[in-house]
Amino acid sequence: MYYLWITCFGIGFTFLMATLGAASVFCFKRQLSLRANTVLLGLSAGLMLAACIWSLLLPSAEYAEKNWQNFAFFPVVGGILLGCLFIFLMDKCFRDKGGGMETRRTRRLFLAVTLHNIPEGLAVGFAFGGAWATGEISAFLAALSLAIGIGVQNFPEGAALSLPLYSATKSRKRAFLYSFYSNLVEPIFAMLGVFLSAYLAEAQAWLLAFAAGAMLFVVCEELIPATLLDVNAEDKERSLGIWCIILGFCGMLLLEIFLV
């Protein structure tokens, strides 16, 4: 029973922190100004770039080295390209359904972050699944540490999704709900990972790289151009967007280094 409570707390903590991050959208009482929008988009782009590298690509490379050895590059590069291709094709499908630029941006951002949450949830589930297999308290504590680390970084990730969605939808409630539903997949796949840890571990390299490719495509196509082009042509405005991207990247990097 003690181990069950540890597992439930670890999985629930990741979802709670992401939801709290998404709820930060309610802190804004008015529609965002152009400069505030630039800051938020830039920070979101930097956060997602760092999460793409540290949360997805580096773990993907570690899994690939264990299972593919000399061909470890194959699932990593292949997964990235498949993720990019997936978002590209989904965008084509969404474009056929209509909607303006902001609507398409909302769809792509939601889809990319949702895909990012799936392998993170599986990683937590695999950790707890391995702990249940060994039955050792040290394994449960290690899994809990991983869950707490991912949960802490989920707070800025939740904000990184809901705040740009607020800019796109002009509705705090819709932005929060989009982010909430996107984050909901993480505990679901964490629970699946607990039960399927013995069967899906070898596919983790592909899943992580696939999610990284999807997120990388959205950041490069949507967030960075929006950060730099949705502002005035003045150099100081563009510099603001660039520095926000860098600060967002460094902020998530610090979380990854010290908390995961």
Which pair of structure tokens corresponds to residue 87?
Answer: 């978002």
| Residue 94 CB-density burial (10 A; 0-12 exposed, 13-18 middle, 19+ buried) | middle
Distances (CA, A) of 123 to 44, 74, 99, 144, 206: 23, 20, 35, 12, 13
pLDDT at res. 260: 52
Sign (positive or negative) of CA dihedral 138, 140, 143, 149: negative
Instruction: Give the pLDDT confidence score for residue 139 in this predicted structure.
Output: 75
Query: What was the pLDDT predicted at 233?
Result: 47
Furthest-apart CA pair in the chain: how many Å?
61
CA distance 33 to 30: 9
Per-residue confidence (pLDDT) for residue 29, from 0 to 100: 60
| C-alpha distance across the termini of the chain, in Å | 26
Please tell me the pTM assigned to this model: 0.67
Joined tokens for residue 192 = 């699946």
- Matching residue, tokens 């909607």: 99
pLDDT tens, residue order, the chain (260 aa): 678 888 899 899 989 988 998 898 888 665 556 677 677 778 878 877 887 888 778 888 888 888 787 888 899 999 899 988 887 887 677 555 555 566 666 777 787 778 778 877 877 887 788 778 677 787 787 778 778 767 777 787 787 778 778 877 778 888 899 889 989 999 998 898 888 776 666 777 887 788 788 778 878 877 787 777 654 445 666 778 888 889 988 887 887 676 55
Q: Identify whether the C-beta of residue 46 lies closer than 8 Å to the C-beta of residue 249.
A: yes
- List the one residue out of 103, 100, 50, 80 whose CA is nearest residue 250: 50
